[in-house]
Amino acid sequence: MLMLRQYLSYYPAILILGAVTSYTDLKFNTIRNKHLAYAFLYGIILFASLSFLDALPLQPDKFLANILISIIIAFALYASRLWSAGDAKLFIAFSLLLPVNRYGRLFFFPCLAIFANIAIIGTIAVMATEIVRFAGKPLAGIKKAFSKSNCLMFLNSLAIIFCLTWTAPVFLSRILALNPLVELIILCVSYYLIYAFMNKMRKYSVLIVLVFALGLAARYLCQPGLFGSPAILFEQLSLSAKFSLLFVILRGVFLDNVKVKPESSPDRLPYALFMFLGTILVNSDLIAFIIGLFVFRK
């Protein structure tokens, strides 16, 4: 009954805000501040009202933390020119329009669940766009996909993931209880940091080879069972290859397309629609399914 009351309180506002902002974003390439202001006001009043009526557990600290985290995420992507100002404010608004007491299994706050869904939906949309773009010229698409730079990036990513990034989630799991999402985030962050370091040190090829060799030797010493079983080794190499392919796609396709384009550009990504779908799908199994594809098994 409590869950039903929350749905009936929050989701009409989500549907209205999502439909209106998706329409204005697709039609006019803009997200209007007055629509966002209504959503902010409604979210705050609704939280206060439901808490007062005991229809929602009173968690002001979690409510404020959710707002703060959504602001940090929104500002970081706006500063990186991955979102426009309107997109950033819309993300905060959607984060306000979900109850904060239902995301303990993989997430602590609704803004994180929404952001994960946006990343998944955005990546799928950009990949589909690329497939459609090269549908009429498959040879050009194949040539781009298997270009020398992409192949080298894949091999480099495979070496980083298999030889180096395994250390962070494996050692942290010995002292902390990591759920699959946290493990996945740690892996991605460690990959990014190592990749950035390797990119800066690329002129010192001998040093890079030495680092890879030391990482591989350390994994052999820490996980001897991995190398003693061909089946387990193949599984880990397959998972590493999945991650490598994912990062190649993200760097070679996704990041080249998501930089904020002029509002009049027909190639501008409709993030309002992505956020709307991401918010609607928060209570689905989409994220768990994606994590199941890519999380490392012990």
Residue with the bigger pLDDT between 298 and 219: it is 219
Q: Stretch 143-164: mean pLDDT, rounded?
A: 85
Give the pLDDT score at 23: 93
**Amino acid identity at 27:** K
CA distances from 87 to 251, 269, 276, 290 (A): 22, 11, 11, 24
pLDDT, tens digit (0-9, with 9 covering 90-100), for 231-252: 889 988 988 898 888 777 766 5
DSSP 1: -
**Quick check: 49 pLDDT over 60?**
yes
Residue with the bigger pLDDT between 92 and 123: it is 92
Q: How far apart are alpha carbons 75 and 59 in whole angstroms? A: 24
Q: How far apart are alpha carbons 21 and 86 in whole angstroms? A: 10
Contact call for residues 233 and 49 (beta carbons, < 8 A): no
Contact call for residues 90 and 108 (beta carbons, < 8 A): no
Q: How far apart are alpha carbons 90 and 279 in whole angstroms? A: 11
Of 57, 119, 37, 40, the C-alpha closest to 83 is: 119
Q: Stretch 182-201: mean pLDDT, rounded?
A: 78
Q: How far apart are alpha carbons 291 and 180 in whole angstroms? A: 7
The pLDDT confidence band at residue 57, using thresholds 50, 70 and 90, is low
**C-alpha gyration radius of the chain:** 22
Give the pLDDT score at 259: 53
Q: Stretch 139-151: mean pLDDT, rounded?
A: 79
Q: How far apart are alpha carbons 287 and 192 in whole angstroms? A: 21
The pLDDT confidence band at residue 136, using thresholds 50, 70 and 90, is confident
SS (H, E, C) 221-254: HHCHHHHHCHHHHHHHHHHHHHHHHHHHHHHHHH
Of all residues in the chain, the percent with pLDDT exceeding 90 is 15
Residue spans per domain, the chain: 2-128+268-283, 138-266
Q: How far apart are alpha carbons 21 and 232 in whole angstroms? A: 48
Q: Which two tokens stand for residue 75?
A: 């500002």
Span of 150-154, 162-166, 190-194 with lowest mean pLDDT:
190-194
Mean pLDDT of the chain: 78
Q: Stretch 34-54: mean pLDDT, rounded?
A: 84
Give the pLDDT score at 268: 60
Give the pLDDT score at 29: 85
**Quick check: 35 pLDDT over 90?**
yes
**Quick check: 140 pLDDT over 80?**
no
Span of 1-5, 23-27, 49-53, 78-82 with lowest mean pLDDT:
1-5
**Quick check: 100 pLDDT over 80?**
no
**Quick check: 44 pLDDT over 70?**
yes
Please state the separation of Cα 279 from the chain's center in Å: 13
Residue with the bigger pLDDT between 2 and 106: it is 106
pLDDT, tens digit (0-9, with 9 covering 90-100), for 3-22: 556 666 778 889 999 999 99
Q: What is the pTM of this model?
A: 0.68
**Quick check: 256 pLDDT over 70?**
no
Of 285, 169, 287, the C-alpha closest to 236 is: 169
Say which residue the tokens 């190398």 belong to. 227
**Amino acid identity at 178:** L
